[in-house]
Chains A and B, each alone.
Chain A
């Protein structure tokens, strides 16, 4: 069901309207939020795809029955989406720095407050985002905690890479969800202003699997339970950032989401005038390439890639280990 939860008058036309989708009435609630940034298209597409799927479940034409409750907010920063940008140019405000918001405040604050209020009774929440501007993320989970509930959520989502962040802004939705003890992760994939259907498919399957595992959905087909992914949990200290030591045009030679070896070439930076190679960018550690520069123009000192390295367990240092 699509329900209008907020209507804000505008000076020149129809009011700005925030919508919530909801399915089911009973059970614990899963909240899905996307479109905090106006150019994070993967999340908005994924939300719309989930809406189509859950509508078909409710209509009885899918192989599932709904046992729990799901709510989603496919687009939050409505004005930024309309202007085709990350932020709404009128206030240049990062929507994800506006939480918990203010119902009597300006547009961004009022929208944030509506999201905050309508997700209050959720048990789980998923925030869908893309990489920061100029980068591409491999599909991965970001979390602030790694307790049993979060680990189970990550395994059920069947996304192999899980990164525990040290901190996120206190005025961001992610932090506010955690502060309310809502089991929350951020699913990040792709680049701003780009739609990557393949990455969205991966996340879609993961979310459906999670809903089945948590009995929000019941699979009518009585298929054998699929093996959960063996998630790899990384700490912020496992991140290795590789930065440019010069400026120019970065030409990548690897794909995000692959494993790289220390010394492997990631790409090179060329001079815009002469075309000459200024710098070869190589991996400085073995690991999983979780983030890669997508926009080619780079400044000196800018990060080009982030590799997640897994520390060896102490057992691997034992003489008889292989």
Chain B
């Protein structure tokens, strides 16, 4: 493993801010495939860090066995200050770095950082996997989200990744400042994984993704390994019209009565929205359709209009 610092910034009081890239490379003059894995764009999303840790462990072994046929780059912690404080945003700037890519923006350190990261990924990758957890509010079943425009290229790759779900969704302008969108626009296929919830590590979900990424590396000829020996699951393909979203009709505390990953039937109770002050149940939250509950509200404090659940339905929602 070769480690390189792609960005180093002096800080006023302590050690520098550094973004590290670890490289596992085949001893060949020109590696077959270059795959990059990115984690920690949001400093409170820790599952990607654990997934990278597990992959580094495994790739070290594969390197010793000469099983590498391509090049794997791992960027395990690309927003170091946010990671150190466990916050989604880069705390000194209150900036979501995954909203700063590809913009013509006024000069700033977050802007400069995203530019350097984007350029490094572009010049070192044929395929990128950007690993995210959900925010503080929602628990997500391991899934890959694909913007409709990139569906044709990305779905076959996403199917290797051992996720429960591939959600193809329409384009929205807010995506245009994300890393995934900008890499895909630059013709570098990029899969965006969402799994679990921020500030927690769901070990089962992480192991599922580790297995999936190793399978992706194997299927793309980046590693030559019999791993994974376990069976890779067939993901549920979900088109936009097959997602039923449940939103809160009131503000209150959500008390869940279901678990993400569960099959629910139409009308089945998912939880209650209660008035924490007045003591009454404001709303019984029920599934509007039968299907797979792949997103569920975890943060009880709920505002009106907030998403409570998403269900992948069998028929158009």
Contacts and interface: CB of A to CB of B under 8 A. Distances in A.
A92 B276 contact: no
A314 interface: no
B104 A105 contact: no
A169 B12 contact: no
A266 to B, nearest CB: 15
The winner among B99, B176, B305 for most chain A CB atoms within 10 A is B305
Contacts of A303: 106-108
Given A87-B94, A97-B174, A110-B305, A167 B104 contact: yes
A174 B5 CA distance: 37
A133 interface: yes
B285 to A, nearest CB: 15
Chain A interface residue number, banded: 35 or more
A180 to B, nearest CB: 15
A17 interface: no
Contact of B177 (A87, A169, A249, A299): A169
B173 to A, nearest CB: 4
Contact of A9 (B9, B89, B177, B251): B251
Interface in B275-317: 275-277, 301-307
B107 A12 contact: no
B103 A109 contact: no
Interface string A112-133: 0000000000000000000011
Consensus secondary structure, chain A interface: loop
B125 to A, nearest CB: 24
Interface in B86-139: 87-89, 92-94, 96, 99, 103-104, 106-109, 112
B247 interface: yes
Interface of B: 9-13, 16-17, 87-89, 92-94, 96, 99, 103-104, 106-109, 112, 173-174, 176-177, 247, 250-253, 275-277, 301-307
Interface of A: 8-13, 85-87, 90, 92, 94, 97, 102, 104-107, 109-110, 132-134, 165-167, 169-171, 236, 239, 241, 243, 246-249, 272, 297-303, 306
